Amino acid sequence: MKLDHLVRVGYSFFGLLAGDAALLILFLLNALRASLLLHGQLKAQCLTAFGSFIPIAIVSIVGWLAIGIPAVLILSQRIVLQSPLWLLLVVGALLGPVALFIIFLLLSRGLPTTETFTNTGFLWACASLISTVAFAVHCALLRQFTLHSRPVGAP
């Protein structure tokens, strides 16, 4: 059974939320670790984690609108179902950095310089984490829908 485009976009949005949640959990675990090393100050570390997370989450939504939705609509349901898991994870890991690159191009008005990419290594890792989790959740939901929508006895 083929899914409607709106449902597939909804699955990808749910995947985006899962990717952002994974990054927030990573930030909060890092805040907990830092507070243990600093003997307290958990509240300040958590506020710093949230303060760092919010701009990245906003940029991830922009990246999802620019790259995520078109990727979900271009890739057919059949390709997602027949591709091996490792290939889907690689595609998901590459979508985030591509989206971040396009955002950098837009922010630099199409003329990026070396300063555009200075000290952005952490952002590339965040983009890759969010997109990997988001695309994996999207593909898992597509596969789950397909498994439960088949008639009994169908291959």
Least confident segment among 63-67, 69-73, 147-151? 147-151
DSSP codes, 22-86 = HHHHHHHHHHHHHHHHTTS-HHHHHHHHHHHHHHHHHHHHHHIIIIIHHHHHHS-HHHHHHS-HH
| C-alpha 15, offset from chain centre | 7
How far is it, in rounded angstroms, from Cα 70 to Cα 67?
6
Q: Taking the domains of the chain in order of start, what are their residue ranges?
A: 5-145
The structure tokens listed for 129 are 């984490």
CA distance 21 to 10: 16
Question: What pLDDT is stored for residue 150 in this prediction?
Answer: 58
% of the chain exceeding 90 in pLDDT: 32
| Token output for 152 | 């009994």
Residues whose CB falls within 8 Å of the CB of residue 123, separated by 6 or more in sequence, listed in order: 56, 100
- pLDDT per residue as tens digits for the range 20-63: 999 999 999 988 888 887 777 888 888 888 999 999 999 999 99
pLDDT at 149: 66
- Let me know: does 15 contact 141? Beta carbons within 8 Å: yes
pLDDT at 123 over 90: no
